[in-house]
């Protein structure tokens, strides 16, 4: 289900929004937009479509409609100053009405706890549709637009759930399975921007529980606890000191927990593992109960592309 709404999108600069930029996608499975490719009203236009959320079920692809109140403004979210300069995103800010002054009090549209985004670095037809607007708005330079145009498309399909991770401390979502026979399916891929031989590149890394292990966490006086129910954990990587080895390790800290359907967990009534928030994730197997950690100098090069924010700086959603 989709429909074309309103005039062409003309800006994604939060300081230039008008009521004409307001869009209402409530209940729709597909976001459809009209783009004007030039400054003149007679210039060629294009149609852009993007699903809110899709998944595979019984071998076929299905889509979820966006929730009620999915109305607001598309805008450009710039990367933090220390991150790769092309790591910006287009997001959708839900607001109470079409008045641009409501933008500041609105909230980013979330899908399973993370912002719904169009990631420029993925170099897809979806992201390319916004480039002319970003340049006209002065949000990206000609050199940045040129570099984005030179990016090689990622070598396998990217979905709305693909996530660009540019920094240690940046939140992202990982699925948690309480079934030990399904642990291998908790493995997921994240993409990191970097520079190699003067070229902008994209590399991937994985986060998964160790072989024959389950995800767990420190439950305080009750000891270490295995997740007893499937969940989605919003986590971030942080520097971690190994008790024996002096290497550049990172560990995973849980910021907050969601049900596997993406609903917030605010109490033990919502999810039995409500207490995991704030704790480091652990690998719990038959013989070991250790903090999950990774050596940044081993494995895929993507780990070494991760940026470390300046001291005292944090990365929000």
Which residues neighbour 275 within 8 Å (Cβ) at sequence distance 6 or greater? 217, 219, 220, 225, 268
Does residue 160 have a pLDDT over 70? no
- Is residue 204 within 8 Å of 156, Cβ to Cβ? no
Q: What is the mean pLDDT of the chain?
A: 84
Reported confidence tier of residue 2, pLDDT bands at 50, 70, 90 = very low
Residue 97, pLDDT score: 96
Closest alpha carbon to 50 in 103, 96, 99, 9 = 9
State the Cα–Cα distance between residues 252 and 186, nearest whole angstrom: 15
Does residue 1 have a pLDDT over 60? no
Number of Cβ atoms within 10 Å of the Cβ of 196? 10
Read off the pLDDT of residues 99-144 as tens digits, 9 standing for 90 and up: 999 999 999 999 888 898 889 988 777 788 888 899 999 999 999 9
- φ, ψ (nearest 5 deg) of residue 298: -125, 160
State the Cα–Cα distance between residues 275 and 258, nearest whole angstrom: 12
Read off the pLDDT of residues 25-56 as tens digits, 9 standing for 90 and up: 999 888 888 776 655 555 456 677 787 876 65
Closest alpha carbon to 195 in 307, 298, 271, 93 = 307
The tokens for 249 are 């390790």
Q: What percent of the chain has pLDDT over 90?
A: 45
- Is residue 146 within 8 Å of 138, Cβ to Cβ? no
The upper half-sphere exposure of residue 76, i.e. CA atoms within 13 Å in the direction of its Cβ, equals 28
State the Cα–Cα distance between residues 252 and 283, nearest whole angstrom: 11
- pTM equals 0.88
Does residue 264 have a pLDDT over 80? yes
Which carries the bigger pLDDT value, residue 284 or residue 187? Answer: 284
The tokens for 300 are 């895929």
Burial-class residue 15 by CB neighbours within 10 Å (0-12, 13-18, 19+). Answer: exposed
pLDDT average, residue stretch 215-227: 83
Judged by average pLDDT, the poorest of 84-98, 196-210, 299-313 is: 196-210
Does residue 258 have a pLDDT over 90? yes
Residue 55, pLDDT score: 63
Which residues neighbour 16 within 8 Å (Cβ) at sequence distance 6 or greater? 137
Task: Give me the DSSP letters along 152-202.
Answer: PPPSS---TT--B--BTT--EEEEE---GGGGGGG-EEEEEEEEETTEEEE
Number of Cβ atoms within 10 Å of the Cβ of 89? 21
- Is residue 224 within 8 Å of 276, Cβ to Cβ? no
- Is residue 29 within 8 Å of 51, Cβ to Cβ? yes
Burial-class residue 197 by CB neighbours within 10 Å (0-12, 13-18, 19+). Answer: exposed
Reported confidence tier of residue 185, pLDDT bands at 50, 70, 90 = very low
pLDDT average, residue stretch 238-264: 90
State the Cα–Cα distance between residues 311 and 38, nearest whole angstrom: 43
Residue 93, pLDDT score: 97
Residue 6, pLDDT score: 61
Task: Give me the DSSP letters along 10-29.
Answer: ----TTT--GGG-EE-TT-S
State the Cα–Cα distance between residues 105 and 88, nearest whole angstrom: 21
181-170-54 Cα angle (round to 5): 55
Judged by average pLDDT, the poorest of 239-248, 263-272, 282-291 is: 282-291
């Amino acid at each position: 289900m989709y429909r074309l709404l309103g005039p062409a999108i003309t800006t994604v600069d939060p300081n230039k929004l008008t009521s004409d930029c307001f869009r209402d996608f409530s209940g729709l499975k597909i976001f459809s937009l009209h783009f004007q490719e030039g400054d003149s009203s007679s210039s060629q236009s294009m149609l852009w479509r993007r699903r809110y959320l899709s998944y595979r079920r019984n071998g076929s692809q299905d889509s979820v409609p966006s929730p009620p109140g999915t109305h607001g403004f598309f805008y450009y979210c710039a990367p933090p100053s220390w991150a790769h300069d092309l790591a910006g995103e287009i997001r959708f800010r839900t607001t109470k009405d079409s008045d641009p002054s409501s933008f500041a009090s609105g909230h980013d549209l979330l899908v399973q706890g993370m912002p719904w985004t169009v990631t420029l670095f993925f170099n897809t037809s979806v992201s390319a549709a916004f480039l002319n607007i970003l340049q006209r708005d002065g949000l990206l330079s000609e050199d940045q637009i040129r570099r984005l145009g030179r990016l090689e498309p990622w070598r396998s399909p990217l979905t709305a759930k693909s996530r660009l991770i540019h920094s240690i401390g940046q939140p992202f979502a990982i699925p948690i399975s309480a079934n030990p026979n399904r642990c291998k399916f908790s493995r997921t891929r994240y993409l990191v921007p970097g520079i190699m031989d003067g070229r902008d590149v994209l590399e991937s890394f994985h986060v998964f529980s160790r072989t024959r292990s389950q995800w767990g966490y420190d439950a305080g006086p009750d000891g270490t606890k295995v997740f007893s129910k499937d969940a989605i954990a919003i986590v971030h990587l942080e520097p971690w000191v190994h008790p024996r080895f002096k290497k550049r390790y990172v560990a995973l800290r849980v910021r907050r927990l969601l049900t596997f359907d993406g609903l917030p967990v605010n109490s033990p009534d919502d999810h039995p593992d409500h207490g995991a928030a704030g704790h480091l994730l652990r690998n719990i197997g038959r013989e070991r109960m250790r903090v999950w950690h990774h050596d940044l100098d081993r494995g895929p090069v993507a780990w070494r592309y991760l940026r470390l924010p300046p001291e005292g700086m944090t990365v929000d959603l």
